[in-house]
Amino acid sequence: MSEFVTTRREGRMQQIVLDRPKALNSLDLPMCRALHAALDAAAADDSVEAVVTTSTSEKAFCAGGDIRALRDAAASGDHEKNHEFFSEEYAMDLAYHTHRAPTVAVIHGVAMGGGLGISINGSHRVVTKKVMMAMPETAIGFVPDVGASHFLPRLCGGGTRGLAVGIYLGVTGVRMGSADALYTGLATHLIDDEARGEFVTAIGREGLEAALEQHGLPHEEAGESAVEAQIERIEEIFSKPTAQDMIAALEAGEQDEWATATLGMIRAHCPTSIVATIELLRAGAEAEDLRECLDNELALGAWITARPDFVEGVRAVVIDKDRNPTWDPADLDAVEVDAIRAALSGS
């Protein structure tokens, strides 16, 4: 078990509490194992009608995986250690998705990377107005994982629009508020910031549906979605065949604040990660289920974390924080697409 994961039973509900506030609940291997064990215990108890994951932090639900530890292992050549972490993390994410009872995440503050794995893969994603979601992996030489290749292409109803939105979110790592989360489908419900405790208690005493009816707010109260405001442009641009085509379309279009910010994010991020993300999400859109997507992510993740870009990206963003990584290659045209496809297929 982990000192950073606790459980509490109240009535019909099994609550799982993330309690590593100094690290914004970043997930290490013992936490993943503890979360999986708690899910299994709840599945074995027929009296549990809902599993609810919460955080003790006012700043974060979960900021992702323990990137520093993953970077240290990669830098030392201990790729088996990282493979073990990702394998167990993804198995835990799958347990959220396939649980016999509803799995509810109460998301307040930062939720990124692995934090979306333990929330978006569940049945109910309940956000407050102070949520900030993102999949920022391309900024550190990695790719969106934890099931992102399953849930990102299926946002906004899936299809061409869903895949374009997923590629936009995955390639840029843009930050989203509650309105964006609700519009895209990352979130399913909205509650008041201060009602989190009462909402969780109500689930235990009265059941999930009664608690949602009592505390749920109209989605309109989250305000306007920045993604919705640009949805036509997102669909047009991020449906282009290649990253180079996407950049060209952005450059050819209206040079407003959105286009400038979007171009800036893409140009700053790892070229190999950008191409790999597009390939991964397109494969995910065609995948049969979450399990297949996680298998794809594990295969591609093993390849990409063994490359120097991952070590360099984490250094630049997380450790030294100079935001000045040296990517290899530094140009999208030099990225070996065939190598990415081979890694993705496990060949």
Catalytic (active-site) positions: 65, 114, 137, 145
Secondary element (H or E) of residue 14 = strand 13-18
Q: Are 233 and 249 in contact (CB under 8 A)?
A: no
Computed over its alpha carbons, how large is the radius of gyration of the chain?
Answer: 19
Sorted by sequence, the CB contacts under 8 Å of residue 237 that are 6+ apart come out as 164, 168, 246, 249, 250, 253
- 306-344 as b/e, with b when 16 or more CB fall inside 10 Å? ebebbbbbbbbbeeeeeeebebeeeebeebeeeebeebb
Q: How far apart are CA 147 and CA 162, in angstroms?
A: 15
Q: Which two tokens stand for residue 173?
A: 């790592």
State how far Cα 296 lies from the chain centre. 16
Q: How far apart are CA 151 and CA 281, in angstroms?
A: 9
